[in-house]
Amino acid sequence: MVKIDNSKCLGADKCGKCMKICPVGVFMNVPVGKFRSGVEPECFEIVPYYDAVCYACGACVKVCPVKCITLQK
């Protein structure tokens, strides 16, 4: 199981290294808060959306510059 501490995460616009390095595409950049059609969301956060396909290679943990990603069993 992949956990992200979004209070530390720099986000996809400033970093996104985990999204780029993940060999199975676990991470997604998703809008935060209420979504209204035709209106850009105010902010986004990276979430381990496809966590079920993660095989715990640890690449995301190693590449994260702020160490906000952990792998849990």
Give me the residue spans of the domains in the chain: 2-71
Quote the CA–CA distance of 67 and 65 in Å, as a whole number: 6
- What is the SS3 string spanning 38-71? CCCCCCEEEECCCHHHCCCCCHHHHHCCCCCEEE
DSSP 3-state helix, strand, coil percentages of the chain (rounded to 5)?
Answer: 20, 20, 65
Token pair of 27 as six digits: 């991470």
- What CATH number was assigned to the domain covering residues 2-71? 3.30.70.20
Taking only the tens of pLDDT, the chain with its 73 residues reads 999 999 999 999 999 999 999 999 999 999 887 767 777 777 889 999 999 999 999 999 999 999 999 998 7
